[in-house]
Amino acid sequence: MANPKQNPIYAHDTLEFVTVAAEYCALMEKCENRAENELVETLLKLLPLVYMKMQLLPEVETDGAFVPDDQVTEEDYNYIRSCAYRLLRKHDEYEMLVWDEDMQTEESRWCSVSEGLADLYQALRNFVAVYQQRLESCMPDALWQLRENFEIYWGQTLLDTLRQLHRIRYSMSIAADEEDS
């Protein structure tokens, strides 16, 4: 086994990220056993931690020779998405304003919390699988790929999904307060 101080795949921050990512994956794999408010509350605590731990990951230089195959199948993705959708059904879709750099315009598009959660699951599960299988030759490439995809895609997805979960959480509080009145 490599020296953790010299090898970023065993750095303290990397192993902490693996732990948090695995916790997110486990939560989503068992989300059908949760209530909507419980899932939302847990995600509001866990997703900021995923984002923060992601920022602490060490940079890795690699030639990409061992980029791991995706572990998440279409069935896995659809299962996570449908479980989240069943719980968040009435809050799942939301409209988001998006700035188009090329056109210098703002446009709205419809997004889905359950799809965002499934996208995050796919990125994190693919990464965690490499560590669970102890594929040391693939770990640097998996870490590099995770960071690259975070910057390009799933980091923004995480933030957009978190923003909508915040709205869901506090709209549930307002609705509960109105029912109590």
> What is the mean pLDDT for each group of 10 consecutive residues in the chain (181 residues)?
69 97 98 94 98 96 81 96 95 76 70 96 96 92 94 95 94 61 55
Encoding tokens for residue 47? 């997703």
CB 88 within 8 A of CB 50: no
**What pLDDT sits at residue 4?**
46
Taking CB atoms within 8 Å and a gap of at least 24, the contacts of 10-13 are: 11/58, 13/53, 13/56, 13/57, 13/58
CB contact set of 123 (below 8 Å; sequence gap of 6+): 146, 149, 150, 153, 154
The residue type of 77 is Y
**How open is the CA angle 71-72-74, to the nearest 5 degrees?**
135
Q: Which DSSP helix (H) or strand (E) runs through 121?
A: helix 113-132
Encoding tokens for residue 129? 């699988």
- Which domains does the chain possess? 8-180 (1.20.120.1550)
Q: Which of 130, 172, 180, 160 is nearest to 51 (CA)?
A: 160
Q: Which of 93, 100, 14 is nearest to 54 (CA)?
A: 14
